């Protein structure tokens, strides 16, 4: 019921606010303002995908613009590599321009405009917009709309570069054919308000030619007379590398590496991905904390985009660098560490639960010790038959304690046994001595390997009772703190 009310009233309120406020030209209604609460489910159910592409339908389904850019550019670059000599000045300039245009995407398109992870001054915004255009990856608005959908619907059919459709689909396939389904809704109305974004959109074709091809060629041409090298290396070959560097964020970063913060989805952290993407390779962190201006949180990890933004902030060109609270970041890491520890814990054998062991009287123990090698230590009865010949201290010390309580001797009286010895001994438990064990009161009862334990919340009896108490024992409504 509440969802019906909210979806009906929200647009009315919004319409009223729009009427009251002076009408601005670039005020757009957020694209996701009126979507149903069950949007993802609703779209998947009601909007059918286009039929799969076959060899017969392929020609009609290709996206010829992307296909041309992504095939002709490398073809020209390869021709140039075999026919134009690479001068060292041009090589250095190509690498520098690779970083400049790469940063236009990572620091501009990605961290500034897609995620708003910091505020940039106007000169920096224009510089990033121009550098990003030199990477020839579409306008800021188009790029950010797809990227926001990628974050919002990661690993679902509404993610435009859904990693579950395979490495090559997320790398480049999604651009080469007409999408089988429209990407899920993602709002970019904030970007329409940006003068820089509108400026780039207006001059996009000219900026592509200028920043993608003319500028890198002119620098090499006027700089050291290498017009051909400037075009084939600094413009064209460099563009191929920038393209695939960015594409690796969608493919490699969802495929290679670890998930130190959360393994619910495909994003992964890996140094190699960071090296090929200007520092966007700590993608598991990034999908968990997308508004953080950092991808790498450790000082030694490779994240030149973070360093660039940080330097800009020191120069007064960038402000409001956002970082997620360290406490919350560490919680994610802890959860994953505990998960791995739990897996190790589940792969090991531990002492039997005292509740599963028979309770034996002292007399019963003494009687059975006449026919089995039984020893009491820490209130538990152990069958030490297998230990008699293996005991590092010699068999005589075992034999003399059969049928006796050797607690004092074991815990320092004769020898202060190691934790390993205590753990091993606990595996020989066959019974509990009646009245001999005080649960949880004495470390002698709990093997060292079981004193810290990874338990799920519903396995902790105390936490279960606490939460039910919190829900049921409230007499009157309180105030939120
Ligand atoms: Zn991603
Ligand atoms: Zn992102």
- CA–centroid distance, 143 to ligand 2, in Å, is 11
- CA–centroid distance, 391 to ligand 1, in Å, is 56
Return the ligand number nearest the Cα of 293.
Answer: 2
What mean pLDDT, rounded, does the chain reach? 90
- CA–centroid distance, 267 to ligand 1, in Å, is 6
- CA–centroid distance, 126 to ligand 1, in Å, is 26
Residues 6+ apart with CB under 8 A from 284: 257, 258, 259, 260, 261, 262, 267, 268, 269
- CA–centroid distance, 38 to ligand 1, in Å, is 23
pLDDT digits (tens, 9 = 90+) for 33-92: 888 888 989 999 988 888 888 999 999 999 999 999 999 999 999 999 999 999 999 999
- CA–centroid distance, 104 to ligand 2, in Å, is 14
- CA–centroid distance, 324 to ligand 1, in Å, is 18
Rounded to an integer, the average pLDDT of 432-441 is 71
* pLDDT of 371 over the 90 cut: yes
CA 404 to chain centre: 57
- Quote the CA–CA distance of 297 and 284 in Å, as a whole number: 12
pLDDT digits (tens, 9 = 90+) for 235-249: 999 999 999 999 999
Return the ligand number nearest the Cα of 283.
Answer: 1
Contacts 24+ apart (CB under 8 A), 5-8: 7/34, 7/36, 7/37
The stretches of 182-237 forming alpha helices (DSSP H) are 189-192, 195-202, 204-207, 215-224, 227-229
Return the ligand number nearest the Cα of 153.
Answer: 1
- CA–centroid distance, 280 to ligand 1, in Å, is 9
What confidence score (pLDDT) does residue 439 get?
Answer: 55
Give the pLDDT band (50/70/90) at residue 21. very low
Return the ligand number nearest the Cα of 154.
Answer: 1
pLDDT digits (tens, 9 = 90+) for 337-366: 999 999 999 999 999 988 899 999 999 999
Give the pLDDT band (50/70/90) at residue 443. confident
What confidence score (pLDDT) does residue 14 get?
Answer: 40
Return the ligand number nearest the Cα of 289.
Answer: 2
Rounded to an integer, the average pLDDT of 143-154 is 96
- CA–centroid distance, 6 to ligand 2, in Å, is 30
Return the ligand number nearest the Cα of 273.
Answer: 1
Tell me which residue has tokens 């495909």: 266
How do the residues of the chain divide into helix, strand and coil, expressed in percent and rounded to 5? 55, 5, 40
What confidence score (pLDDT) does residue 480 get?
Answer: 80
- CA–centroid distance, 152 to ligand 2, in Å, is 10
pLDDT digits (tens, 9 = 90+) for 174-200: 999 999 899 999 999 999 999 999 999
Helix (H, G, I), strand (E, B) or coil at 420: helix
What confidence score (pLDDT) does residue 415 get?
Answer: 83
* pLDDT of 166 over the 80 cut: yes
- Among 1-5, 269-273, 326-330, the minimum mean pLDDT is found in 1-5
- CA–centroid distance, 330 to ligand 1, in Å, is 21
Return the ligand number nearest the Cα of 267.
Answer: 1
- CA–centroid distance, 73 to ligand 2, in Å, is 26
- CA–centroid distance, 333 to ligand 2, in Å, is 20
- Quote the CA–CA distance of 113 and 146 in Å, as a whole number: 12
Q: Domains, the chain, ranges and CATH? A: 64-335 (no CATH), 354-457 (3.10.120.10)
Order across the sheet with 380-383: list the strands: 359-360, 429-433, 380-383, 374-377
Rounded to an integer, the average pLDDT of 204-214 is 96
The stretches of 158-282 forming alpha helices (DSSP H) are 167-168, 174-176, 189-192, 195-202, 204-207, 215-224, 227-229, 238-250, 271-276
- CA–centroid distance, 170 to ligand 1, in Å, is 10
Return the ligand number nearest the Cα of 255.
Answer: 1
What confidence score (pLDDT) does residue 354 get?
Answer: 87
| Top-confidence residue, 437 or 276 | 276
- Quote the CA–CA distance of 160 and 150 in Å, as a whole number: 6
Give the pLDDT band (50/70/90) at residue 474. low
User: Are 265 and 287 contacting, i.e. CB atoms less than 8 angstroms apart?
Assistant: yes
Residues 6+ apart with CB under 8 A from 57: 51
- CA–centroid distance, 200 to ligand 2, in Å, is 21
Q: How far apart are the first and last CA of the chain?
A: 28
Nearest to 381 by CA among 399, 400, 407: 407
Return the ligand number nearest the Cα of 150.
Answer: 1
């Amino acid at each position: 019921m509440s969802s019906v009310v909210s979806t009906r009233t929200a647009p009315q309120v919004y319409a009223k606010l729009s009427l009251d406020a002076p009408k601005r030209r670039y005020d757009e209604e957020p694209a996701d303002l009126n979507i149903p609460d069950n949007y993802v489910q609703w779209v998947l159910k009601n909007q059918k995908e286009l039929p799969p592409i076959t060899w017969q339908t392929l020609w009609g389904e290709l996206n010829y613009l992307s296909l041309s850019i992504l095939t002709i550019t490398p073809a020209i670059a390869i021709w140039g590599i075999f026919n134009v000599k690479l001068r060292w000045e041009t090589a250095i300039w190509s690498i520098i321009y690779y970083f400049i245009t790469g940063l236009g995407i990572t620091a501009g398109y990605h961290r500034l405009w897609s995620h708003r992870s910091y505020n940039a001054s106007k000169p920096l915004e224009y510089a990033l917009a121009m550098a990003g255009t030199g990477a020839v990856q579409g306008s800021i608005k188009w790029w950010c709309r797809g990227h926001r959908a990628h974050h919002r619907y990661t690993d679902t059919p509404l993610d435009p570069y859904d990693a579950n459709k395979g490495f090559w689909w997320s790398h480049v396939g999604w651009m080469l054919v007409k999408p089988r389904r429209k990407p899920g809704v993602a709002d970019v109305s904030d970007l329409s308000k940006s003068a820089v974004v509108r400026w780039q959109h207006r001059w996009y074709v000219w900026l592509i030619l200028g920043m993608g091809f003319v500028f890198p060629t002119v620098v090499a041409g006027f700089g050291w007379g290498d017009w051909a090298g400037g075009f084939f290396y600094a413009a064209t070959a460099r563009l191929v590398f920038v393209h695939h560097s960015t594409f690796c964020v969608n493919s490699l970063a969802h495929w290679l590496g670890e998930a130190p913060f959360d393994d619910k989805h495909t994003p992964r952290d890996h140094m190699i991905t960071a090296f090929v993407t200007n520092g966007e390779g700590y993608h598991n962190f990034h999908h968990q904390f997308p508004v953080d201006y950092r991808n790498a949180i450790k000082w030694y990890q490779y994240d030149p985009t973070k360093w660039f933004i940080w330097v800009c902030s020191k120069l007064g060109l960038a402000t409001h660098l956002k970082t997620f609270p360290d406490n919350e970041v560490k919680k994610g890491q802890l959860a994953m560490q505990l998960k791995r520890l739990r897996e190790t814990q589940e792969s090991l054998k531990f002492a039997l639960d005292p509740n599963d062991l028979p309770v034996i009287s002292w007399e019963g123990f003494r009687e059975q010790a006449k026919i089995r090698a039984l020893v009491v230590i820490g209130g538990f009865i152990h069958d030490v038959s297998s230990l008699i010949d293996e005991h590092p201290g010699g068999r005589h010390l075992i034999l003399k304690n059969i049928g006796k309580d050797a607690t004092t001797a074991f815990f320092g009286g004769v020898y202060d046994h190691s934790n390993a010895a205590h753990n091993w001994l606990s595996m020989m438990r066959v019974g509990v001595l009646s009245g001999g064990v005080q649960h949880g009161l004495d470390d002698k009862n709990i093997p060292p390997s079981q004193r810290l334990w990874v338990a799920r919340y519903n396995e902790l009896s105390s936490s279960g009772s606490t939460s039910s108490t919190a829900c049921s024992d409230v007499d009157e409504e309180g105030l939120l703190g």
